[in-house]
Chain A
Amino acid sequence: MPDMARKTTTARKATVTALAWTVGFLIFFPVLWTFLTSFKTEGEAIAAPPSFLFFDWTVENYLTVNERSDYPRHFWNSVVIAVGSTLLGVLIAIPAAWSLAFVPGRRTRDVLMWMLSTKMMPAVGVLVPMYLIFRDTGLLDTKSGLVGVLTLVNLPIIVWMLYTYFKEIPAEILEAARMDGAGLRSEIIYVLAPMAVPGIASTILLNIILAWNEAFWTLNLAAAKAAPLTAFIASYSSPEGLFYAKLSAASTMAIAPILILGWFSQKQLVRGLTFGAVK
């Protein structure tokens, strides 16, 4: 009997494995296909029947994209905008989340909910004034302008994520530190900071991903000079001639760094995007 039970579980496990891998492969396929196409010639990219692995691999497209379209600059814009807005946001959010988590008052809940509500405002509702403000202050098509907007857009998520992490630091430890005569400053530096680092790191990671892929403000407020990769890739929507392989090369370079970061942040993703409602 136990032998048979083991056999059915193994058979079942094999079936589940085969099914799960098939589904996983199908979902991942567009990404894989983009990656493969980026190494084809333009002719091979549209060939019928398409070849999956047995074609003449070439890095020509990567070279062309890098030379012709000023790709490095747009990549750099993405880095500056994503990292800059995240760090600025975290800098503003850490003290706020600290107070919300450790000095809760009657209004803590209201403040948190209100911050969340700002995230609910559809971007299109303030598109016109933001565009005019940017135009009149010379922020249109500048990296600093986009850093500012994305900081504000993601600030509620950053505060919330940090808050849920800080909340898990036991208050007794703080009390013990206070009993030992630690002031506010040393309390933060020696007691809280070491325990808060993992949470802060996760928050930074997730927000870099969100900012990197943000495609409303970046498309509307930066057309050329400061355009990050989202806007640069969008320029392929009105292509000239054969462009699949080049589109694939540009896309692969645009998504690879964030895909790798993203794979490390699966757990934080759930927590961050559900505002701590699902952990």
Chain B
Amino acid sequence: MATQHSRTAARLMISPAVILLFLWMIVPLAMTLYFSFLRYNLLMPGMEEWAGFSNYRYFLTDPAFFTALRNTLVLVLGVLMITVTGGILLALLLDQPMWGQGIVRILVIAPFFVMPTVSALVWTNMFMNPVNGLFAHAAKAMGLQPYDFLAQSPLLSITLIVAWQWLPFATLILLTALQSLDSEQMEAAAMDGAGPLSRFVYITVPHLTRSITVVILIQTIFLLSVFAEILVTTNGGPGTASTTLTYLVYVQSMLQFDVGGGAAGGIVAVILANVVAIFLMRMIGRNLDA
């Protein structure tokens, strides 16, 4: 149906977006790659020299790298576990007939719209603070010793904050998926004598599998670059106890002005994210034709 004329027009119309994204993807990334092979510190301008793979060697053998890698894994997996499990339970709950469902939905979705710096500061100060936080008040009221969340378990605290932000996303997507479930199929299964549990296992779960995968993969992309929540709460500490890969690269390049080392870390982060991305792309690509 498309004529030669409209094809040319189409190509013209798509080119601004393609060219811009191409530049956005290629130029800075090429620069990062180039810097990663230089000895380049912003405090010593004009002293740049070829460094070969030494930035990579330095970054990859730094004990902080392993801590950061482990912390990144703990954070991502922890948030995923909380949000996916919680999301499934919440979606199942919200899918039931009830009064005021619309309002409950609004309450549940709210955290997603709270900017990361706000949610991190509100949680750390007004809830988790060992002196004035609500949790401390509650502990003291029950005669317990208040727990210093950010000093005792910084990574867990950040995981909880981030999970609070992402629980609505998982819930909303799984709820949307549940609502598209064919009710006739459910009724037919019920008539054939399938109990609630087997209906859940054999109909609901397979129906949700794809949405759960989507939730996991999209969240992973965003969770790998969690930054503001760490910056305003613990600054990656104490020590490197809550430093993730993203934060480590930030510290190296923006606080220690080590452009070369930061760039090498950036490339490592890009490679790791790509492994995740490949899965996501495949899945969404498959969906494109359906």
Chain A interface residues (CB < 8 Å from chain B): 9, 12-13, 16-17, 19-21, 23-25, 27-28, 30-31, 33-34, 37, 46, 48-50, 92-93, 95-96, 98-100, 102-105, 109, 111-113, 115-133, 152, 155-156, 159, 171, 175, 184, 209, 212-213, 215-216, 219-220, 229-231, 233-234, 236-237, 243-244, 247-248, 251, 254-255, 258-259, 261-263, 266-267, 269-270, 273-279
Q: A130 contacts which of B20, B28, B141, B224 (Cβ < 8 Å)? A: B28
Interface contact B107-A127, CB-CB below 8 Å? no
B194 proximal to A (CB < 8 A): no
Interface contact B98-A127, CB-CB below 8 Å? no
B259 proximal to A (CB < 8 A): yes
B185 proximal to A (CB < 8 A): no
Residues of A within 8 A of B93 (CB): 16, 19-20, 23
B65 proximal to A (CB < 8 A): no
Q: Count of chain B residues with Cβ under 8 Å from any Cβ of A?
A: 107
Stretch from B56-64, B167-175, B195-203 at the A interface: B167-175
B17 proximal to A (CB < 8 A): yes
Residues of A within 8 A of B108 (CB): 23-24, 27-28
Q: Which of B23-65 contact A (CB under 8 A)?
A: 24-25, 27-29, 31-32, 35
Chain B interface residues (CB < 8 Å from chain A): 1-2, 5-7, 9-11, 13-14, 16-18, 20-21, 24-25, 27-29, 31-32, 35, 90, 93-94, 96-101, 103-119, 121-123, 125-127, 132, 134, 137, 140-141, 164, 167-169, 172-173, 176-177, 180, 210-211, 214, 218, 221, 224-225, 227-228, 231-233, 245-246, 249-250, 253-254, 259, 262-263, 265-267, 269-270, 273-274, 276-277, 280-281, 283-285, 287-289
Q: From B289, which residue of chain A is reached at the shortest CB distance?
A: A109
Known contacts A92-B16, A129-B32: does B99 contact A122 (CB below 8 Å)? no
Q: A99 contacts which of B11, B107, B167 (Cβ < 8 Å)? A: B11
Interface contact B90-A23, CB-CB below 8 Å? yes
Interface contact A50-B137, CB-CB below 8 Å? yes
Rounded to whole angstroms, the CA-CA distance of A109 and B285 in the bound complex is 8
Known contacts A28-B107, A122-B270: does B262 contact A128 (CB below 8 Å)? yes
Known contacts A46-B132, A236-B121, A244-B132: does B17 contact A129 (CB below 8 Å)? no
Residues of B within 8 A of A92 (CB): 16-17, 20
Q: From A171, which residue of chain B is reached at the shortest CB distance?
A: B1
Residues of B within 8 A of A155 (CB): 17, 20-21, 24
Rounded to whole angstroms, the CA-CA distance of A93 and B168 in the bound complex is 28
Interface contact A122-B253, CB-CB below 8 Å? no
Rounded to whole angstroms, the CA-CA distance of A254 and B27 in the bound complex is 34
Rounded to whole angstroms, the CA-CA distance of A263 and B86 in the bound complex is 21
Provide a sorted-by-A list of 10 A–B residue pairs whose CB atoms are within 8 angstroms: A23-B93, A24-B103, A31-B110, A96-B14, A103-B2, A126-B31, A127-B253, A216-B228, A248-B122, A255-B113
Interface contact B16-A237, CB-CB below 8 Å? no
Q: From A215, which residue of chain B is reached at the shortest CB distance?
A: B228
Interface contact A212-B115, CB-CB below 8 Å? yes
Interface contact B225-A129, CB-CB below 8 Å? no
Interface contact B35-A112, CB-CB below 8 Å? no
Given contacts A30-B119, A234-B228, 17 further A-B contacts (CB under 8 A): A27-B168, A92-B17, A96-B17, A103-B2, A115-B17, A116-B284, A121-B29, A121-B270, A122-B273, A128-B31, A129-B29, A129-B35, A131-B253, A215-B116, A237-B231, A266-B109, A273-B218
Residues of B within 8 A of A274 (CB): 173, 214, 218
Known contacts A127-B249, A128-B266, A130-B28: does B104 contact A120 (CB below 8 Å)? no
Rounded to whole angstroms, the CA-CA distance of A29 and B191 in the bound complex is 42
Interface contact B167-A27, CB-CB below 8 Å? yes
Rounded to whole angstroms, the CA-CA distance of A20 and B259 in the bound complex is 50
Known contacts A16-B97, A27-B107, A48-B140: does B121 contact A122 (CB below 8 Å)? no
Closest Cβ–Cβ distance, residue A278 to chain B (whole Å): 5
Residues of B within 8 A of A115 (CB): 17-18, 21
Known contacts A13-B99, A111-B18, A278-B211: does B112 contact A262 (CB below 8 Å)? yes
Interface contact A95-B281, CB-CB below 8 Å? no
Residues of B within 8 A of A220 (CB): 250, 254
Known contacts A152-B24, A220-B254: does B16 contact A96 (CB below 8 Å)? yes
Interface contact B232-A117, CB-CB below 8 Å? no
Closest Cβ–Cβ distance, residue B9 to chain A (whole Å): 6
